[in-house]
Amino acid sequence: MLGVSEGLVEKIRAVRLVVFDVDGVLTDGRIIFSNSGEETKFFDVKDGHGIKILMRMGIDVAIITARQSDVVRRRAADLGISHVYQGLKDKRVALEELVKASGISPGEMAYMGDDIIDLPVMRRVAFSAAVADAVPEVLERADYVSKRPGGRGAARELAELILKVQGKWDEVMNAYLP
């Protein structure tokens, strides 16, 4: 089904919450600082729409990022993401806090990452995904590797995959078609 094995289909069907890293996943990994120290990141609107569709279809979304950034806080607020964990170098701590806050077990979560800092969480969740331009160590350990790179549609691709496997994509499309 959709280019994933039957074993992965079962993992994807269990997903009730999707966790995204930010730098390199929801962005292309570049961080730009102005002379005044203001930070800029680039987000893809299609990724954002995919996240909103996930939430509309009853799948919660969270962000776990090792960096602290007002830009991330603003983007999360814009998308309606309430579970935002920033500035935690050990992402397992954030995952445990997320489990407590959401009431959803790691066995019902998906995680998308791009670098070795993401591996401890990727190993704990039911379904792990990597962006196409992730580091080799992450690519070889992910359940699924997107065709799209970070910040350029990878999150949207994952959202669509989950919704299609869970049989919710037709409902999404019917909302946009007359």
SS3 state of residue 150: coil
* Beta-bridge mates of residue 118: none
Q: What is the value of pTM for the model shown?
A: 0.94
What is the C-alpha end-to-end distance of the chain, expressed in Å? Answer: 27
Rounded CA separation 95/108 (Å): 12
Q: Which residue has the higher pLDDT, 121 or 31?
A: 121
Confidence of residue 1 (pLDDT cuts 50, 70, 90): low
- pLDDT for 117-168, tens place per residue? 999 999 999 999 999 999 999 999 999 999 999 999 999 999 999 999 999 9
Catalogue all structural domains in the chain, each as residue range(s) with its CATH number. 6-166 (3.40.50.1000)
Distances (CA, A) of 167 to 3, 12, 49, 161, 173: 15, 11, 19, 10, 12
